Amino acid sequence: MALGGGGGQTIPHTHSAAPQDGGFLVEGTTGFSGGVVGEVLTRAVTSVPNWSAAGGGLTTNQQHDFLGADFSTTSTTAVTTGLSLTATNAGGGTCGVLCCGAWWSEPADTNVYSVLYDDGSAISGTVIYYTGGETVVGGGNARNGWSLVWAIPTDGSVLDVRAYVAAGATVVFAGTSANSSMTLNEVY
């Protein structure tokens, strides 16, 4: 078989420095033209390929809220603690919710609760139940850690942590940035 011309046939070859086997591929010579930096080649099902702006990447966002002062309540119905954030309104995304902190109850053997709310409604399965704390040496109540991890869609929801107690009790959430906080990790 003679080389050259091809006559509509693909001639077996490699790309190296030897001219008879096709030479090196030339950068920028792809057979497609018109693309610029930042564009990608796309094609709809029934169309020819076209250059268009790159897209489809994910956006991430993180939000934080901290209690600046101790929060306490004697309420037997859920009341807001002051931890509240609004999820980004971006359809199709997910928001990871992390709430954590230190709390204690008075008296030490009383039940306390915290619950995550979404637009004013309690989210089923997010109740944190605590049977009070032990008394520390020298008096007072021990601070105990609490945490809640949940996921919701990025739909613009207002999320807040609420608390309540058994009758005759008080719950106290420690209120410094190191003790009680809420974080939203969003991907959309």
Tell me if 184 sits within 8 A of 97, measured CB to CB: yes
User: At a CB cut-off of 8 Å and minimum separation 6, what does 121 contact?
Assistant: none
Q: How confident is the model at residue 151 (pLDDT cuts 50, 70, 90)?
A: very high
User: Does residue 11 form part of some domain?
Assistant: no
Q: Quote the pLDDT of residue 91.
A: 85
pLDDT digits (tens, 9 = 90+) for 38-96: 677 777 666 778 777 776 667 899 999 999 999 999 999 999 999 999 999 998 899 99
Average pLDDT, the chain: 80
- Has residue 14 been placed in a domain? no
153 burial via Cβ count (<10 Å: 0-12, 13-18, 19+)? middle
Per the structure block, which two tokens stand in for 170?
A: 């008080």
- pTM given for the model: 0.66
Note whether residue 19 is domain-resident. no
* Position 128 in a domain: yes
Quick one: what percent of the chain has pLDDT higher than 70? 69
The residue-averaged pLDDT of 13-41 equals: 62
In the predicted structure, residue 116 carries a pLDDT above the cut 80:
yes
**Average confidence (pLDDT) over 107-116:** 82
Residue 93 structural domain: 68-187
The CATH number given to whatever domain includes residue 123 is 2.60.120.1340
Q: Is 17 strand, coil or helix?
A: coil
Is 2 a domain residue? no
- Give the HSE-up count for residue 62: Cα atoms under 13 Å, Cβ half-sphere: 3
Number of folded domains that form the chain: 1
Single out the residue of 104, 87, 66 nearest to residue 182, CA to CA.
66
pLDDT at 129: 77
